[in-house]
Amino acid sequence: MYTFIYIKKYLLPILFILFFVPASHCKVVVFDHVTTIQKPIIIKVLTKAGFFAAGGLMVDIYLEKEPLKKILTGGDGYGYLNYTPQEAGLKKITAHSVKGSASGLILVMAENEKAILIEIEGAFKDSVFSDAIRERSQKAVNALSENYRIIYLSRVLGKGISGSWLKKQNFPKSVIIRWRGLTSLKSLKKNGVQIQAIIGSADVISTVSEKIEKRFSFEKTKDGKTVKDWDEILRLLVKSPLSHPNEDE
């Protein structure tokens, strides 16, 4: 019985997304980042040959359409570039190499802005199988983005697959950060990011139970507030519930 519940809650949504969202074959990976104005970050790229890292390659880095610098990836395939943003906004970073090109995002937040963390696998798992829930979640996240910066978290799927699914379902465009628990949270706070709330699985919010005040999950949890739908989250965060007259259909 417990095996069936686990498959239904976690594996089926992940397998569904893996099956219906085409995998990226890009040979360059550009990682997303979050910081605040004048807080330096290290832009990170990875060059690959198939599934394996390919090091020792020159990579041209662009911010929007302006060239930043040419860097050389190390033996492990990773290359790094220091960058200090001067203004807030969602910045596009592009990397070009002989292996191909790819883009990533840098979310630069102003000091007075606050962010909401949304774990993709935990917050959207029911959206995979229900058009009604998916539409409601999409509208809710769009509503939240009018008041807060959205930061997506991924534990399993990774940026490529998660990003393709979010784009296909018309969710607000933003960064996707690989979630590594308190390590990721400390990195965000070190960069001056103010976090208003987190939405995700019971496992994820339990990790930050003493670090983030407002914690919401659609799963039963003792480490946050269990909510029944996205409308409840909106009432708690922006006091603006969605209108969905055909809820029972």
Highest averaged pLDDT of the listed ranges 21-30, 45-54, 169-178: 169-178
Q: Does residue 4 register a pLDDT over 50?
A: no
Pinpoint the residues of the chain covered by CATH 2.60.40.10.
28-109
The per-residue pLDDT for 139 is 94
DSSP 7: I
Q: Domain 28-109, what fold?
A: Immunoglobulin-like (2.60.40)
Residue-wise pLDDT for 34-49, tens only, equals 999 999 999 999 998 8
Q: How many Cα neighbours within 13 Å face the side chain of 208?
A: 28
Predicted local distance difference test score (pLDDT) of residue 5: 44
User: Which CATH superfamily, name and number, covers 114-237?
Assistant: HAD superfamily/HAD-like (3.40.50.1000)
More confident residue, 239 or 37: 37
Q: 71-77: which pairs have CB atoms within 8 A and are 24 or more residues apart?
A: 71/45, 73/45, 73/46, 73/47, 73/97, 77/46, 77/47, 77/48, 77/53
| Sequence ranges of the chain with CATH classification 3.40.50.1000 | 114-237
Is 248 a residue whose pLDDT tops 70?
no
* pLDDT above 70: residue 102: yes
pLDDT at 174: 98
pLDDT in tens, 63-82: 998 999 999 999 999 999 99
**pLDDT at residue 3 greater than cutoff 50:** no
Task: Report the pLDDT value the prediction gives residue 195, as an integer from 0 to 100.
Answer: 97
